[in-house]
Structure 1
Amino acid sequence: MTSLSNDHSILIDIQKSTFNRILAVIYLVIWIATILANPLTGGNSKQFMLLGAVVIVICGVTFGLSHRHFRLAVYILIWGLWGCVAAATQNLSQPVVYYFFATVVLFATSLMRLWSQVVLALASTAFILLFAPSEITFGAALFLWISLITSYVVSHGLLQTLDITHHYQSYAVEQMKKARDQRGEIARMAAALKLSQENQHRLNIQLRYALNSAEEARRLKAQFAANVSHELRTPINLIVGFSEVMATAPEAYGGPPPPAYRPDIQAIYRNATHLQSLISDILDISQIEAAQLAIVKEETDPHQVIDEAIRIAQGLIQGKKLELRLDVPSQLPAVCLDRTRVRQVMLTLLTNAVRFSDKGRITLRARVDEREITVSIQDTGMGIPKEQLDRVFEEFYQVESNLSRKRGGTGLGLALSRQFITQHGGRMWAESEGIPGKGSTFYFTLPLTESTLFTAHPSPYQPVDENQARQVIIWENDPAIVQMFRGYITQHTVHAAQSLRDVHTLLKSTHPLAVICDTYADVTALQQQVASVSPEITLITCPMPSGRQAARMMGLVDCLVKPVTRQQIFAALQGIEQPIQRVMIAAGERDMLRMYSRFFQTAPENYTVGTALTGMDALAMMRTDPPDVILLDFSLPDMDGFTMLEYLKSTPVLDKIPVIVVSDGSTTNTILPLVKGEIVLRKAGGFQPMELVRCIEAISGQLIPPSVLKS
């Protein structure tokens, strides 16, 4: 985007327009002055008429010359007018004519450069000093320079204003071009989807809709991601659940599977688990802004991540009869990374290398220096043109789209991969000569250390090092809440404690910056433990947005979100104090019922399991034979889960039976508003003034404004 001051052509256009207006003003003034010649000239009308004719001739000549040699025309006009004013001072007995030099200077400020204006002003001043009567010399010279300075200041301010206007106009034009490009792309997509059945009115609606604000576009994308993810929860839960039972508890099927089946079952379970983690990523996309996915870092051996990615991609590589070469040092330092995200990056690069290579080899290398680990994946495929190397990381962009469609792919993998690596503090780029057979190489780096600025407050207690100061402890037994804190607290390491004893152990070993717990926890006991270690440690109590806590407030044992595992169900059962023998499972899908039944078959206790496909069948069976616990899947066909809970509470025989709820996530969001409370910050040693102000400022900056204010 060019600046107006740097765009010579625009300045010339402005000066040409000003030039023509000055000529028009001069013509008008000359004709008016001609009519009033006698009173103005004091009897020297002939000389005045001659000077007026000269001025008109100069104006006519410069007007014709301005179309081909504008600068020359400007200099002829300005110096010609200057000469006419000088001649008028000598031929007309009017001292006031000397003040007309200021008018010429004013014209010059609109048409000439600054140095030319100064030369003109100096020449005018010299002429005034030499020839003007003494009584007006100072006034005329002063008026001339005041006019020059004032005109320069005004014109300079005007140019700055025009510069800003030009900047925003260029920006608006650029945005209009982008909008037009997006509109055209959506038009092509609509035509492909609707074929010839879409009429022009429908197309215009689609185009107008596509021009909504970026915030609306993000909302729709998030809603789409959430809907798709919720639809995938049940099938992926079935795949993971059954494959987990087959892989880890084959006795539920009467005995171990044949040896030839075991590697395949393990592969199904491993890949299904990976797919389940990717679905969780899609849910994260639907819940956050700025396209920043939550990452959970932990100390990890890079060899493990590389091996996992290769095992998953091994089938693709062997299917195309490609050679896989590894050039990885035997010793790699542990890296603080999100195992799932980095593995996904490697899988994306390996899959792309396989997809665009018909023969040859794929080489995976790893190198270590003092600051980072660099991983590269090289193929011998078609390569990427150099001018497209940067664009391959754009969302939905594909190199040679026709070929990309044949080979598969959505154009999102590389964009998400670069985002993951950037969140780890690394870099990602590609190199290629664009020659088929030489392929391309994709690189990414992972930093070995993370630098964080930490400011210590004066304290009589022994200071802690920087790594310790970046620790926080969360006392919470809901894994979803711990995962949320670990994913979104990026500047501190989060340690989880499930009991007061765990908190005490972590306080001794980590000396954290803060301890976080639920409002409903034993705050008094926790406060005593924290104060015994150091009064400088802050205790934060707040209502945890836990589906489990909300479920307990509703009288439920737990609220599990799909996909659920048998470990989660067994953990929920352990929270029930009374003995359990009979279990009732109510779910709206036969496959889910079979999976839940398989889970209970693998339990260490022997349970008697009853199943029902509808809520009414389950109620009828439970009235006859009340169970010890109910596993209620909210996917009932004849009633929603909340209605089922109301039936249970209103039935005297069933109202005391513990209930474990399984839902697709929407149920948890519905009952979360039941969890209410206060956020309280405590520190035995007290807060320093600026520390308190910054805490309040940080919290206030993240609060959502109230939607309705009471008058």
Structure 2
Amino acid sequence: RTAKALEEAYRRIERMNYALIDARAAAEDARRLKAEFAANISHELRTPLSLIIGFSETMANAPETYGDFRWPPSLRADVEQIYRASCHLSSLVDDILDLSALEVRRLGLSVEEVSVHDVLSEAVSIVAELFRAKGLYLQVEVEPGVPHVHIDRTRIRQVLLNLLNNASRFTLEGGVTVRARRAGREVEIAVADTGIGIAPQDVPKVFEEFRQVDGSTRREHGGTGLGVPLSKRLVELHGGRMWLESTPGKGTTFYFTLPLSQAQGLPAHYTRGSGAPGAAENYRRTVLCVEPDPWLMRMLRRQIDRYDLIVAERPEEVHDLVQRHQPVALMVNSPGGDPVAGLEVWAETVPPGLPVIGYVLKGALGEARRLGAEGYLVKPIARSELLNALKQVAPEARDVLVVDDDPEFVELVCRYLQTHGNEWRLRKAYSGEEALERMRQRPPDLVFLDLSMPRMDGIGVLSAMRSEPGLVRVPVIVISAREYPEGDVRQGGRLLVLRRAEELLAADTVNCLRAILDALPRPDPVRPGPSPGLPATPTG
């Protein structure tokens, strides 16, 4: 009887464990689908938003493009309001995308050594006019001796801007003080306002996504409830913490910390193998990278954020970079597809004990540059960016072909060009095949070419141009998506090569294998079947 009762208990525990596995998998799927849905919707919103921003900026800043008639001041003011509101909506879409990326763990960091004072000053300078317009003071106090930190400069500036904008909305008199000091092995930053404050029972709501302290539709101060939760997640991604202290009627202070990654007085790129005394375990190590594609390089920096990645452009500069940064390895991308052949030239430039890692990643932008593209633009494109690229690549161009499968975007590029004079011969193509046909009829002075098009994409157009004598010298400015995520990398290699002139120790080999295994994605959980003839064993 006891054995039967134990067997029944085992079966119940087994069923409960299976139910827990199913529930956890369902919860993970729901979280992932929610984040991906928000990201997809946000991407769909971004395309028309970029057009609204582009056209309204042109109407507000270059109304002469639309003719010689005089714009009424009220109409111009309305257009400027459309432009400002569109920019605001675009920033909200960016916040949703960032939160979605954090949810699915796809938001990496591009880490660099940064002065805390510089980051604070940059953020304060951006919002200074807003505070002046409201009659509020805005000041910065940095404690002497605050060390540099290794952070994603853009993301921490985003955190500060969110907190400063939040403070400006809830402060009617007085102002805001931004302070920074060293607190043990961290740098502590505080944004203190003299605003209305937050009641103790409402403090937890501040860090909840899409929540407002005043959740009514008639709330006075506006906002979406995204800024502070996103800021908290970005700080935690850096290994820091965020909290607040508030007194109703007197003001609120938001605090966040950034961990120090190295001790005072040692080189920024010191590595454990350099022999300096007192080496700490959390020094940031350096890797030299041979990566010609700037957007692939950006992706690598965001995803391999525990290391400082230093670009080596020519073999002759590797020796000096090794002496200066003491890297743990040299990584070489071989987009041609053969990482073994790609290592030969670079392996001869490094000390015998330095590992050289060959890999294959093919980015569309790097492929375009290899095929002769002379410039690149990233959507959404500002009018000044397009005109600067034109000035650098083909300042004398007048016959311009714009190639994109989105007719509205083609029209926007043409409108941008028309703000720079009326002597253009503008031609349009909405597919790769149509672009080649128009170029063969009459080679243009310059081509703006979108990389992402159905059927024949921008790479196919470039390849065809470089094989035709009449088109091989036509300058091309390629246009790519706003972000360059891992999903847009065209192809990875099936071979990862590790080479070192000295023989690898067994421990080195095992460490490399462990690092590669740690990086592999986890498989979905599989429900095991009970062994026949044996009582089910509980799993925990």
- What TM-score do the two structures reach when normalised by structure 1? 0.54
CA distance in structure 2 between the partners assigned to 1:228 and 1:361 by the alignment: 34
Change in 2 beyond 3 A, CA 1:470/1:383: same
Give the Å deviation of 1:356.
Answer: 2.1
Give the Å deviation of 1:430.
Answer: 0.7
- Of stretches 687-696 and 553-562 in structure 1, the one that deviates more from structure 2 is 553-562
Change in 2 beyond 3 A, CA 1:413/1:669: closer
Q: How does 1:13-412 map to 2 (within 5 A)?
A: 213-229=27-43, 231-232=45-46, 236=50, 290-291=104-105, 293-329=107-143, 332-402=146-216, 405-412=219-226
CA distance in structure 2 between the partners assigned to 1:622 and 1:655 by the alignment: 7
- Which of 408, 413, 425 is 1:592 aligned to? 413
**Preserved CA contact (<8 Å) 1:469 1:512:** no
Structure 1 partner of 2:312 = 497
Q: Which has the higher helix share?
A: 1
CA distance in structure 2 between the partners assigned to 1:500 and 1:320 by the alignment: 55
Structure 1 partner of 2:349 = 529
Change in 2 beyond 3 A, CA 1:505/1:610: farther
**Preserved CA contact (<8 Å) 1:648 1:655:** no
Give the Å deviation of 1:482.
Answer: 1.6
Secondary structure of 1:685's counterpart equals coil
- Which of 686, 692, 697 is 2:514 aligned to? 697
Q: Which has the higher strand share?
A: 2
Structure 2 partner of 1:442 = 254
Give the CA RMSD over aligned residues.
Answer: 5.2
CA distance in structure 1 between the partners assigned to 2:150 and 2:328 by the alignment: 20
Structure 2 partner of 1:134 = none
Secondary structure of 2:188's counterpart equals strand
Give the Å deviation of 1:498.
Answer: 2.1
The share of aligned pairs that are identical, in percent, is 31
Give the Å deviation of 1:474.
Answer: 0.6
Code of the aligned partner of 2:224: T
List per-residue Cα deviations over 1:118-163 (Å, max 9, x = no partner): xxxxxxxxxxxxxxxxxxxxxxxxxxxxxxxx99xx9xx98xx79x
Matched, 1:423 2:237: yes
Give the Å deviation of 1:375.
Answer: 2.0
Code of the aligned partner of 1:486: R
CA distance in structure 2 between the partners assigned to 1:395 and 1:484 by the alignment: 27
Code of the aligned partner of 1:685: E
Give the Å deviation of 1:541.
Answer: 0.7
CA distance in structure 2 between the partners assigned to 1:591 and 1:389 by the alignment: 45
List per-residue Cα deviations over 1:1-51 (Å, max 9, x = no partner): xxxxxxxxxxxxxxxxxxxxxxxxxxxxxxxxxxxxxxxxxxxxxxxxxxx
CA distance in structure 1 between the partners assigned to 2:87 and 2:425 by the alignment: 27
CA distance in structure 2 between the partners assigned to 1:241 and 1:705 by the alignment: 46
CA distance in structure 1 between the partners assigned to 2:355 and 2:218 by the alignment: 54
- Of stretches 674-683 and 660-669 in structure 1, the one that deviates more from structure 2 is 660-669
CA distance in structure 2 between the partners assigned to 1:687 and 1:518 by the alignment: 22
CA distance in structure 1 between the partners assigned to 2:503 and 2:403 by the alignment: 53
List per-residue Cα deviations over 1:595-637 (Å, max 9, x = no partner): 35778x8xxxxx986432655986665344212552223699x
**Preserved CA contact (<8 Å) 2:235 2:258:** yes
**Preserved CA contact (<8 Å) 1:239 1:272:** yes
CA distance in structure 2 between the partners assigned to 1:349 and 1:610 by the alignment: 45
Structure 2 partner of 1:611 = 427
Give the Å deviation of 1:675.
Answer: 5.4
Code of the aligned partner of 2:401: M
CA distance in structure 1 between the partners assigned to 2:437 and 2:184 by the alignment: 69
Secondary structure of 1:402's counterpart equals coil
CA distance in structure 2 between the partners assigned to 1:469 and 1:377 by the alignment: 28
- Which of 492, 496, 504 is 1:679 aligned to? 496
CA distance in structure 1 between the partners assigned to 2:320 and 2:242 by the alignment: 40
Give the Å deviation of 1:313.
Answer: 2.3
Structure 2 partner of 1:631 = 448
**Preserved CA contact (<8 Å) 2:288 2:312:** yes
Give the Å deviation of 1:357.
Answer: 2.7
Give the Å deviation of 1:703.
Answer: 3.5
Give the Å deviation of 1:653.
Answer: 7.7
Secondary structure of 2:327's counterpart equals coil
Structure 2 partner of 1:76 = none
- Of stretches 489-498 and 693-702 in structure 1, the one that deviates more from structure 2 is 693-702
Code of the aligned partner of 1:681: L
CA distance in structure 1 between the partners assigned to 2:375 and 2:523 by the alignment: 31
List per-residue Cα deviations over 1:577-596 (Å, max 9, x = no partner): xx989653335332222335
CA distance in structure 2 between the partners assigned to 1:617 and 1:522 by the alignment: 36
Q: How many residues align?
A: 475
Change in 2 beyond 3 A, CA 1:353/1:468: closer
CA distance in structure 2 between the partners assigned to 1:665 and 1:366 by the alignment: 33
**Preserved CA contact (<8 Å) 2:371 2:462:** no
Code of the aligned partner of 2:323: K
CA distance in structure 2 between the partners assigned to 1:631 and 1:700 by the alignment: 43
**Preserved CA contact (<8 Å) 1:398 1:404:** no
Secondary structure of 2:213's counterpart equals coil
**Preserved CA contact (<8 Å) 2:286 2:325:** yes
CA distance in structure 1 between the partners assigned to 2:492 and 2:254 by the alignment: 47
List per-residue Cα deviations over 1:563-587 (Å, max 9, x = no partner): 454599579959xxxx989653335
Give the Å deviation of 1:503.
Answer: 2.6
Secondary structure of 1:493's counterpart equals strand
**Preserved CA contact (<8 Å) 1:629 1:657:** no
List per-residue Cα deviations over 1:504-536 (Å, max 9, x = no partner): 321221221000111248421211111xxx222
Secondary structure of 2:427's counterpart equals strand
Secondary structure of 2:110's counterpart equals coil
**Preserved CA contact (<8 Å) 1:634 1:661:** yes
Change in 2 beyond 3 A, CA 1:596/1:293: farther
Structure 1 partner of 2:298 = 483
**Preserved CA contact (<8 Å) 1:327 1:363:** yes
**Preserved CA contact (<8 Å) 1:633 1:641:** no
Give the Å deviation of 1:497.
Answer: 1.9
List per-residue Cα deviations over 1:640-681 (Å, max 9, x = no partner): 763995799499686646554324369998884455452111
Code of the aligned partner of 1:627: P
List per-residue Cα deviations over 1:331-358 (Å, max 9, x = no partner): 6433322222122111211222222233
**Preserved CA contact (<8 Å) 2:401 2:429:** no
Structure 2 partner of 1:68 = none
**Preserved CA contact (<8 Å) 1:234 1:562:** no
Give the Å deviation of 1:293.
Answer: 2.7
CA distance in structure 1 between the partners assigned to 2:495 and 2:256 by the alignment: 44
Code of the aligned partner of 2:222: G
Give the Å deviation of 1:219.
Answer: 3.0
Change in 2 beyond 3 A, CA 1:243/1:331: farther
- Of stretches 217-226 and 275-284 in structure 1, the one that deviates more from structure 2 is 275-284
**Preserved CA contact (<8 Å) 2:286 2:326:** yes
Q: How does 1:1-16 map to 2 (within 5 A)?
A: none
CA distance in structure 1 between the partners assigned to 2:48 and 2:99 by the alignment: 19
List per-residue Cα deviations over 1:207-233 (Å, max 9, x = no partner): xxxx96332432342343244246426
List per-residue Cα deviations over 1:148-193 (Å, max 9, x = no partner): xx99xx9xx98xx79x97xx79x98xx99xx9xxxxxxxxxxxxxx
CA distance in structure 2 between the partners assigned to 1:276 and 1:310 by the alignment: 21
